[in-house]
Structure 1
């Protein structure tokens, strides 16, 4: 199957998952009509989502899996969700980065998308605890030849050590110690959940502590999170909403949710709508 076909499959599965969560369940025959694909294609999509642990197959369709607050999906499972929303968020966030600045990118699939949009910003210093984010810059520089890393304008990437989480972030005391000694202009932070009551949260206790250190080392904190993160609460809260300078999200939020978010966040940017 070609890369183009794979991308279409990922987008289709993201739509199916969104429908399952929104309606509390879907039937195969409804999806075949809505997506204009075969019964077999829908069943393959449901099989793939079931393997990722995000839906449960039932007779004739699927229902959502109710996740516990300590459940942490892997990077591959999360990367297939809300693809277009994440890319729009990443494009918008990339416009906030000035050439020559020192920035930090936390782990997460939206920060991973952001990294790809930062490759042409010159003279960046990038601190990250994400193996995936570091690989984006490394792969781009390697593809340009051996001299790419030393040429003017190439990004300097600092990858913290630490213990690897299911979402490929490096966390724990080693990461925390490295981050404490650094200072950056802006932190772009991916999150598991955002809510008024719990603030920013994650299922991973060690990641919560590492995120606190990232926030303390940043002059400005920008959270990048698609609309499905709103109302989700992980096991460990690590920041209040008023500790965030800006949240960049997508247009999938309802008007009521936007109003609620704006009341508690210093800055709210909706990708594709709030740009000049």
Structure 2
């Protein structure tokens, strides 16, 4: 009896070790399959790859977490996309002046602005962010009489002055070059409101999310994201694969992205995985 008592634990330990070895091998196989699929299509779905490999969604989520820690991929809502390499993303360290940004890519921005205005005009309350493309969009909304517009951009409010739309500006401290209003007073005022739609600008978009140059303006952008039923991001194609100081949010934080051309495959896959509605604006008609 004593010999048998001793042998059972030894056998259990051996079986446990063998099971762990098999599990490690299966893990490696799953990881290889996940990375192969990412290399082919640029994105994967948790439910699809779990069904193909005959494992639970939870197992695949753990695999994705491990691979993300290794820098092999980036998890997004419902799946994952290939990780960006440092060389594939440009970093903008300084914010160009407003006038310079307004001239840069003016045709693309005009097309995006006109298209986005058509989306916003159907609503009653709209929050409009600072930025050049949002500024151009606001010009199309001057005569939309049923629309109440809330903004932290003094440029937008001045552009809309005298038009049919009602305009409300947050109160707070002014950031001179951008002519944007920020600070705790502005945040507190708009946090009490609920907007039908918010339209945000951005300095750049990658598969990880969208960015801005300043902490000050980012605080209000996040208010718009929290307090709006529909969230629209405007981004001309020159801003794809670019990032700057502050990540405002993930792609899953927006509902619609309006741009002027198809994004790179990684961003397109990340948008699809995050269930973002991608809209390509047609060229604006010539004056």
- TM-score using structure 1 length: 0.64
Q: Secondary structure at the match of 1:220?
A: strand
1:232 paired residue among 231, 235, 242: 242
Instruction: Flag structure 1 segments of 5+ consecutive residues without an equivalent.
Output: 1-66, 142-153
1:107 paired residue among 130, 146, 169: 130
Structure of greater relative contact order (alpha carbons < 8 Å, 6+ residues apart): 2
Equivalent residue number for residue 181 of structure 1: 192
- Give me the whole-angstrom Cα distance separating, in 2, the residues matched to 1:205 and 1:256: 27
Post-superposition offset of 1:258: 3.9
Cα distance change, pair 257–236 in 1 and its aligned pair in 2 (3 A): closer
Post-superposition offset of 1:69: 4.6
Post-superposition offset of 1:217: 1.2
Residue correspondence of structure 1 range 178-257 to structure 2 within 5 A: 178-197=189-208, 199-251=209-261, 253=263
- Give me the whole-angstrom Cα distance separating, in 2, the residues matched to 1:219 and 1:261: 19
Equivalent residue number for residue 132 of structure 1: 155
Instruction: Flag structure 2 segments of 5+ consecutive residues without an equivalent.
Output: 1-89
Equivalent residue number for residue 166 of structure 2: 156
Cα distance change, pair 195–100 in 1 and its aligned pair in 2 (3 A): closer
Post-superposition offset of 1:75: 1.1
Post-superposition offset of 1:100: 5.7
The answer to whether the 8 Å contact 1:125/1:156 transfers is yes
- Give me the whole-angstrom Cα distance separating, in 1, the residues matched to 2:147 and 2:131: 20
- Give me the whole-angstrom Cα distance separating, in 2, the residues matched to 1:208 and 1:256: 25
Q: Which has the larger radius of gyration?
A: 2
Q: Secondary structure at the match of 2:127?
A: strand
- Give me the whole-angstrom Cα distance separating, in 1, the residues matched to 2:262 and 2:278: 14
How many correspondences in the alignment?
194
- Give me the whole-angstrom Cα distance separating, in 2, the residues matched to 1:216 and 1:177: 13
Equivalent residue number for residue 33 of structure 1: none
The answer to whether the 8 Å contact 2:143/2:165 transfers is no
Q: Secondary structure at the match of 1:119?
A: coil
The answer to whether the 8 Å contact 1:112/1:132 transfers is yes
2:179 paired residue among 165, 168, 172: 168
The answer to whether the 8 Å contact 2:123/2:197 transfers is no
* Moved beyond 6 Å, runs of 4+: none
When the two chains are superposed, the root-mean-square deviation of aligned CA atoms in Å is: 2.3
